[in-house]
Amino acid sequence: MNTVEAGRSAPVPTAVVTGGGRGIGYAVAAELLRNRCDVVLVARDRERGEAAQRSLAASAGASARLVVGDLSGVRTVRATAEALREACPRIDVLVHNAGLWPSRRTLNEDGLEQAFVTNHLAPFLLNHELEPVLVASAARVVQVGAGLYVKGKADPERTPAGLDFHPVRTYADTKLCNLLLVPLFAGRWRDTGVTINAVHPGVIRTGLGDRGGPLGYLLKVVKLLWKSPEAGARPVVRLALAEEVAGLTGRYFELEQERPPAPVATDTALAERLWDQALELTGLNRTPPPVRDDIAGP
């Protein structure tokens, strides 16, 4: 993998990682720091974020910055975006890693199911809120996906409020919603230099989906056989930095191999419907993106 080369004259890339306090997000942040990036962690919990900063400084030999941000509601996602704009005059890499796999249906302050917001609506809104900064830097956006999307079913009438909630399938449903919109963002940003790709990093041993009780104990035992967060970080960082994937956009990767999405993720009519719904739920208007003239296509 070709990574960022050291050099006084080369600008230091700024990389934002949501859910950077633990798991894959933490491992991605560590690898980006080793590649001489200015890393900004987005973490909901300040104490956990500060602990991650200290640990990264010790293990990666470089300091990450912290933005405390809550991706559980429209209002708080907007506040997170504002904090990121203040902290980051430029963003070269945006890694949407934060995710939620709830065991029960929980509605947020907007009346929306929590996983639908965190896994799907938050990346959508952040992309729009940060769009001028992304365009100015011709950024790479990397969406950390999940292979379980193939088991998902996106129902615009039921999924947003969790009317079809299931302790396993809802995670797949919301990850499918998110993946369906990747090609639409790629089309939106076609003439701006911004790229977006999704990646399934493998079956990774993190705290995602942890449960209590006998089932939770069994899951922890099974997870001992899964790959480490460091292994899951590698394909994510490759999309963020590697020269061989520069310019690719709207693609889906399983580890480091590009794959065609399963048919369930290629329903363009459903994708358009989810896009329009997301605009409505977040109070956004359907507007064209800003164009960076010096890199615009024909």
pLDDT band at 259 (very low <50, low <70, confident <90, very high): very high
Q: Quick check: 169 and 151 in contact, CB under 8 A?
A: yes
CB-neighbour burial class of residue 223 (10 A; exposed 0-12, middle 13-18, buried 19+): middle
Residue 85 is part of which domain span? 14-283
221 in a domain, yes or no? yes
Strand partners, 18: 42
Task: Write the CB contacts of 141 (distance below 8 Å, at least 6 apart in sequence).
Answer: 93, 94, 96, 127, 134, 185, 194, 195, 196, 197
pLDDT in tens, 128-175: 999 999 999 999 999 998 888 999 999 999 999 999 999 889 999 999
Range 234-249 average pLDDT: 96
Q: Which of 26, 171, 217, 252 is catalytic?
A: 171
40 in a domain, yes or no? yes
Range 197-215 average pLDDT: 64
The sheet with strand 93-96 has its strands ordered as: 65-68, 38-43, 14-18, 93-96, 140-144, 195-200, 251-254, 257-258
Q: What is the CATH number of the domain that holds 235?
A: 3.40.50.720
Task: Write the CB contacts of 293 (distance below 8 Å, at least 6 apart in sequence).
Answer: none
Q: Tell me the DSSP string of 152-198.
A: ----TTTTTTTTT--TTHHHHHHHHHHHHTHHHHHHHTTTTS-EEEE
269 in a domain, yes or no? yes
| Closest of 94, 115, 116, 106 to residue 208, by C-alpha | 115
289 in a domain, yes or no? no
pLDDT band at 221 (very low <50, low <70, confident <90, very high): very low
pLDDT of 4 higher than 70: no
pLDDT band at 224 (very low <50, low <70, confident <90, very high): very low
Q: How many domains does the chain have?
A: 1
Structure tokens at 25: 């997000």
SS3 297: coil
pLDDT in tens, 19-33: 988 888 999 999 999
Task: Write the CB contacts of 208 (distance below 8 Å, at least 6 apart in sequence).
Answer: 23, 99, 100, 101
- In the chain, % of residues over pLDDT 70: 86
pLDDT at 264: 96
pLDDT at 63: 92
Contacts for 165-173: CB closer than 8 Å, 24+ residues apart:
165/104, 165/105, 165/113, 167/102, 167/103, 167/104, 170/102, 170/105, 170/113, 170/115, 170/116, 171/100, 171/101, 171/102, 171/115, 171/119, 171/146, 171/209, 172/146, 172/148, 173/116
Over the chain, what is the mean pLDDT? 88
Q: Which helix (H) or strand (E) holds 205?
A: none
298 in a domain, yes or no? no
171 is a catalytic site residue: yes
294 in a domain, yes or no? no
pTM of the complete model beyond 0.85: yes
288 in a domain, yes or no? no
pLDDT at 203: 60
pLDDT in tens, 97-121: 999 888 899 999 999 999 999 999 9
134 in a domain, yes or no? yes
Q: Angle at which helices 122-129 and 74-87 pack, to 10 degrees? A: 40
**Of residues 271 and 298, which shows the higher confidence score?**
271
pLDDT of 2 higher than 50: no
pLDDT band at 9 (very low <50, low <70, confident <90, very high): low
pLDDT of 225 higher than 50: no
